[in-house]
Chains A and B, each alone.
Chain A
Amino acid sequence: QSVLTQPPSVSAAPGQKVTISCSGSNSNIGNNYVSWYQQLPGTAPKLLIYENNKRPSGIPDRFSGSKSGTSATLGITGLQTGDEADYYCGAWDSSLSAGVFGGGTKLTVL
């Protein structure tokens, strides 16, 4: 059971938009930054979004992040088949004094 809650899977057609939610509590998302990671099959995770809504250099603006209260959302527009991957949210939990992740969401581009 992950501290952060994500839907197990989402799907959408190429070119469409999808959102992935990440729900937590005041001890993690509510009072700390959220980051998002993309893990393509067979590879190490890659940073997509940091500090809630910032994109590292090289990450296209099709990827966006937002946070409201104790929830965060990753948005992906103009879906491509190459976006099929597992997506994870992460945050620091001040009560646990530990990092926590969501269980991951598998994105299928139909």
Chain B
Amino acid sequence: QVQLVESGGDLVKPGGSLRLSCAASGFTFTDYYMSWIRQAPGKGLEWLSYTSGSGSAMFYADSVKGRFTISRDNAKNSVSLQMKSLRAEDTAVYYCVRDPVGYLYGMDVWGQGTTVTVSS
């Protein structure tokens, strides 16, 4: 079945780095944009980034531009989010999401989320 499984969430100190990974299965990975969305505790959804099916196009939210980097490995059906210079406000559940067309036309498959906590 179609599935996204995130991993890599952890407790990290402010200023530290972390790499999140998402393993995709059950669909033709290269046919889809892939996005990262996060949700801080008790807060709403925040779009962070997406990459096109080929990986040639990437967009970022201003809040993470220059600190986070999205990448995908189409040979391994995986997408990653490299995060650096982490701040307390980056504490959140991070979701890997499939986006058939990009541009938030409709993100139709969500992972279960992985938790990142930034604290000293």
Contacts and interface: CB of A to CB of B under 8 A. Distances in A.
Interface string B20-47: 0000000000000001010000001111
Nearest to A91: B104
Nearest to B44: A104
Interface stretch (B8-16, B57-65, B76-84): B57-65
Q: Interface size for chain B: under 10, 10 to 19, 20 to 34, or 35 or more residues?
A: 20 to 34
Interface in A28-61: 32-33, 35, 37, 39, 44-47, 49-51, 54, 56
Contacts of B106: 33, 35, 47, 49-51, 54, 56
Q: Interface size for chain A: under 10, 10 to 19, 20 to 34, or 35 or more residues?
A: 20 to 34
Nearest to B6: A44
B74 to A, nearest CB: 22
Contacts of B35: 99
B89 to A, nearest CB: 14
Contacts, number: 71
20 contacts: A33-B105, A33-B106, A39-B45, A44-B113, A45-B37, A45-B45, A47-B108, A49-B106, A50-B106, A51-B106, A54-B106, A88-B45, A90-B45, A92-B104, A99-B59, A99-B103, A100-B104, A101-B44, A101-B46, A102-B44
Interface of A: 2, 32-33, 35, 37, 39, 44-47, 49-51, 54, 56, 86, 88, 90-92, 96-104
